[in-house]
Chain A
Amino acid sequence: MKELEEKIVQAASLEALEKVRVELFGKKGVLAAEFAKMKDIPGPEKKAFAEGLNQTKAVLQERFDTRYEALKAEEIEKLLKAEAIDVSLYGNKVQKGALHPVMETMDKIIDYFIALNFAVESGPMVEDDFHNFEALNLPKYHPARDMQDTFYFGDGSLLRTHTSPVQIRTMLETKPPIRMIAPGSVFRRDYDVTHTPMFHQVEGLVVDEKGKISFANLKAILTDFLRYLFGDVEVRFRPSFFPFTEPSAEADISCPFCGGDGCRVCSHTGWIEILGCGIVDPNVFKAVGYDDVSGYAFGLGIERIAMLIHQIPDLRSLFEGDIRLLEQFR
């Protein structure tokens, strides 16, 4: 018996164990031979013999099963081991490209306003004087209208200098109430470390019945928007001047990098200027033939914001398709 148990335990492989199984449990195996002896055992001893034999068989079966499980597990382990690879070799295989940080920032801004039921509007890049200047309360001789800054074409058309002409087009084509944003490229004739001849803006306009829209509304939405974009920052409004809004203001956020204590990013002022806004000037409404309405408008430059959020040092690098910059945004 001990010897039989030993045989099972000693079996080194599933094949060896199979041989032991045949030897023990097979039709011509040891146990079969033992059971065959039963017919020669006299009646009174038969029962005890049978019980003893069954017990032995059960013990052996149990030993066999245990050994079988162990060998099976060993074999699977061996199989698995044979398939082993150095997974760390594959960690640097990034197949994804990247969105441009300026476009990604613009998308984030658009998503906010879509969620607030603003329509997205667009307009041509090649504009005329009326939509780009005149209708926006910027008559030809206005000091805020710098000729030098505008790209002109031979036929007197120009490249839009801001996204504001989309406001004018939308107002001329539709009726109030209006709630719109206009994202897009704009162009100024300026090229140095902090200026590129093309950059991006998002413009917003809300128009409703007279008396319905106030400066307080403008403050509410822009404060919420700036916190959506920059997280938990303070928002401050300063009076300013734009020809197409009156009253006008600029909105600053407390510097997200130093928490307002002053650092390089905020030029040690603790504040960063983000956008311009105001109540739509009555001359703008007059230009599009709107009576008895009120409205607010705002506009912001995307490059500046993207550079701020992602700490991109060089504005011009944004227009060079430099993969070394872009791949950081994968």
Chain B
Amino acid sequence: MIVTRSWLNEFIDLSDVSNDTLYKTFNAIGLEVDSIKKITIPEKVVVGKVLSCEKHPDADKLNVCKINVGTGTRQIVCGAANVVNAEYVAVATIGAELPGDFVIKHAKLRGVESEGMVCSSTELGLPAMGDGIMILDESIGALEVGKELGAYPAVADTIFELELTANRGDCLSIYGVARDLSVALDRELKVFEYKQEEKMKLGIAREAEIHQEGEIDADLYYKLANLEQAHSSFLISLRLAMIDESTEGKLDAMLKYAMHTTGIALRAYQSSLFRKDEKVTVSVRSSEKGIVEVVGNGKVFSTVGVNQDETAKATDESDQILIEASYINPDVMVEAVWSAEASFVTDDLYYYTSRGSNPDLAFGLSYLSMLLDTYFEFSCYEGALRVEVSREKEAIAVDTKEISSIIGMEIEKSRIVSILQHLEFVISSVDETVVSATIPLFRHDIKNVQDVAEEIVRIIGINHIEAKPLAFTEANRLNTTSDRYKVKKAFKNRAVGCGFYENVSYIFTQKTVLEKYGFPTVEEKLELSNPIAEELNTLRTTILTNLLQAVKRNVSYSKKSIPLFEIGTVFDPQRQEKEVLSFVVSGHSESESVQNAGKPKSIDFAAFVDKISAIIGAFELVPCSRSNGLIHPYQSAEIVVDGRVCGYLSKLHPTVQESYDIPVTFIAEIDLDPLLPKHINAEGVSRFQGVYKDLSVVIDKSILYYEVAKVIKGLDLPMLKDAYPVDIYEDEKLGEKKSLTIRFFIQSMEDTLKEGDIEKVMDSIMSALAEAFHAQIR
């Protein structure tokens, strides 16, 4: 909502209120100021009267004008075509400094002397107002030749752009904003009174009639007028330019101007369309609550508050026009429009009516009449056709104690009463604590005591409320979600310690990408119906494809080592959510340095596993039984934590690596839930010395270590504290066999190891391996 200082001044005296005070007041009462623009017209730009205008002898497009600028007559060459029709113009005289450091000097244009410049609006720092120079008229006040243009308040105005919240339909007009200001600044509104000139004594009833069909839930006033000549006005054009409103003709400009000023929904129709048997016959019908149609000759020309048929709109050429002012309850209308089966086309007016236009229809019509009388050649039939609903004003009873308790500060009852009265609530009764009042129609947003509290807060100013800490004593609130948050934070910090960068990506991805790599996708019937873009058209079932996209991007930024991780949500085909940790390392496993002579190793399986274990802790790796397009079939593993498969890690499949055009890459995706910390009971530690013992066995190449480990673990030997592989050896002599060296740590809880203890352990391991794998001692 754009308002200007001089425009507001039509309804409230702001002569002693500074722009800074206005800015602060607007913000304080909830009309947030987005921008302020103070227009400064340069000095020596004056009102000039064009005395003559002739074609330039040597240039087709130039005119040579004689202009009275108060201090004398000047010859000025002007390039704008519209100067020909101008009487009063803005002249920058010699010495004037226009925006952009443009100083007006004597000049010779194609051999003709020019002493000044006739200005367009943009040359003076005003908004654009169409082609050519500005043609002034007395709509901005009496024009005195030679008077500084900056002395006209409507020109050197200040423009405030306000950001209105959706509930404040009452402030969608200059009048509405002035009304809110009047409460905040505690001053009366100027009363608008206009007694229409009776150019025509003929009553409207002679020429027009109105019919109702169904229960009409809207107020409608109609006036009928003969339009002889439409004119434009400088003030109206200037202000419409200031509020950035485009118009279709002079009549449309007047309607928009009147609406922006008063907030009343106004339309104009070609009355001929309604003419039936010599009379203009308007039928208003409603078959559904909130939908009111305006009908002429059986044709619907408008739905009140919603739209108007283009062809029914009155134009500057119309001879007779039917002016309509309307009010419809926004809540009822919007609900009806929203739930209608056939979708409604809504026009600009709907923005006002859906937020609540001004219900004071008489005011709107009288303001518009004032404009038309002033600027148009126009005559109006006496009186108006009316449809009126008897509306019970909503009543509210507010407990002033409750208001104080909501705000947290004692607000006196008399203060509350006074604020409400200023806001045009009608107080019906006041007892010890309760104030009863009726709510003005234009404040349909106010429904309960908290809404009233908001009004009180607005007017007294939040900054006048003293902040009070809430005192409480209660049990702690460290719940599982809080714990989970801390665990995730710890994982993140460890990943960062291992050199990973945290990635945040959209939970969206491209369905074809998921399908291409064999990931599940969300079931068709549960799919997004209005994705924002093709490449974000489904919910992700893995984070890895997003991470690979980020890798690709970083490769293009010449990054050689790309370790990224993300902890986030993925979805299953039934759209159930779960949190996973995803990792990717692409390219170098460490940074280039002197140690590696600038040639660091590429990331490999062992280095990747090291990094992951440093982050998520102990796990076992077993061969991968799952498959998707990203997994390398021979360098991939399931991650097993506490006997439970909870994720996988893999070298990126070479064909995928190639298609992304990225270096060697490893990936991992692990469910978060199994990694959450578990309760641990400590076991006793032995006070006796232990020994390390290596065992090399020859087994089939195809036997994987985890199978061997399973057998050893299965023996459940109390003295065997640890076992891990330390060497693999293969050569021609061994053929299809390999030599595996395992290191054991043997220790007793009860005693020093005795002769034979170690042998017993080693023997039982050996015989188990021999039985399971035909293993032989090497």
Bound together: yes
Q: Do B502 and A98 have beta carbons less than 8 Å apart?
A: yes
Question: 14 A-B Cβ contacts within 8 A?
Answer: A97-B496, A100-B504, A120-B482, A140-B335, A157-B526, A157-B575, A159-B528, A187-B507, A219-B408, A220-B467, A238-B30, A241-B165, A282-B449, A294-B405
Q: Do A152 and B528 have beta carbons less than 8 Å apart?
A: yes
Residue-by-residue, is B498-529 near A (CB-CB < 8 Å gives 1, otherwise 0)? 11111111111000000000000000111111
**Which A residues are CB-close (under 8 A) to B183?**
none
* With A100-B503, A326-B502: A238-B32 Cβ-Cβ less than 8 Å: yes
**Which B residues are CB-close (under 8 A) to A135?**
none
Q: Do B504 and A211 have beta carbons less than 8 Å apart?
A: no
A121 interfacial by beta-carbon distance below 8 Å: yes
Residue-by-residue, is B457-478 near A (CB-CB < 8 Å gives 1, otherwise 0)? 1100011011111101010111
Which residue in chain A gives the minimum CB-CB distance to B405?
A211
**Which A residues are CB-close (under 8 A) to B485?**
110, 120, 183
Residue-by-residue, is B297-332 near A (CB-CB < 8 Å gives 1, otherwise 0)? 000000000000000000000000000000000010
* With A97-B496, A247-B453, A323-B501: A153-B553 Cβ-Cβ less than 8 Å: no
**Which A residues are CB-close (under 8 A) to B503?**
100, 321, 326
Residue-by-residue, is B718-749 near A (CB-CB < 8 Å gives 1, otherwise 0)? 00000000000000000000000000000000
Q: Do B557 and A216 have beta carbons less than 8 Å apart?
A: no
A263 to B28, CA, bound (A): 22
Q: A183-B485, A219-B467, A238-B30 known; 15 other A-B pairs, CB under 8 Å?
A: A114-B482, A141-B335, A143-B354, A208-B470, A214-B408, A215-B408, A219-B408, A220-B470, A239-B30, A239-B457, A247-B458, A249-B457, A318-B504, A321-B551, A322-B554
Q: Do A216 and B466 have beta carbons less than 8 Å apart?
A: yes
B337 interfacial by beta-carbon distance below 8 Å: yes
Q: Do B470 and A154 have beta carbons less than 8 Å apart?
A: no
The interface size of chain B toward A, counting residues with CB under 8 Å, comes to: 99
Interface residues of B (CB under 8 A from A): 27-30, 32, 35, 165-168, 331, 334-335, 337-339, 354-355, 402, 405-409, 448-451, 453-454, 457-458, 462-463, 465-470, 472, 474, 476-479, 481-482, 484-485, 489, 492-493, 495-508, 524-533, 536, 539, 547, 549-551, 553-554, 557, 559, 562-565, 569, 571, 575, 577, 590-591, 593-594
A69 interfacial by beta-carbon distance below 8 Å: no
Q: What is the total of A-B residue contacts with beta carbons within 8 Å?
A: 264
Interface-side segment among A4-12, A38-46, A88-96: A88-96
The residues in A between 170 and 224 inclusive whose CB is less than 8 angstroms from any CB of B are: 177, 179-180, 183, 185, 187, 189-191, 196-198, 206, 208, 211-217, 219-221, 223-224
**Which A residues are CB-close (under 8 A) to B564?**
321, 323
What's the nearest-Cβ distance from chain B to residue A310, in Å?
14
A267 to B33, CA, bound (A): 12
**Which A residues are CB-close (under 8 A) to B450?**
246-247, 279, 281-282
Choose one: B499, B530, B551; the contact of A96 (CB below 8 Å).
B499
Choose one: B449, B463, B507; the contact of A236 (CB below 8 Å).
B463
Residue-by-residue, is A259-281 near B (CB-CB < 8 Å gives 1, otherwise 0)? 00000000100000000000101
For the complex, would chain A's binding face be called helix, strand, loop or mixed by DSSP majority? mixed
Q: Do A197 and B502 have beta carbons less than 8 Å apart?
A: no
Q: Do B454 and A197 have beta carbons less than 8 Å apart?
A: no
**Which A residues are CB-close (under 8 A) to B448?**
246, 282
Q: Do A120 and B550 have beta carbons less than 8 Å apart?
A: no
A159 to B506, CA, bound (A): 12
Q: Do B457 and A103 have beta carbons less than 8 Å apart?
A: no
Q: Do A90 and B593 have beta carbons less than 8 Å apart?
A: yes
A153 to B549, CA, bound (A): 25
**Which A residues are CB-close (under 8 A) to B472?**
117, 177, 179, 208
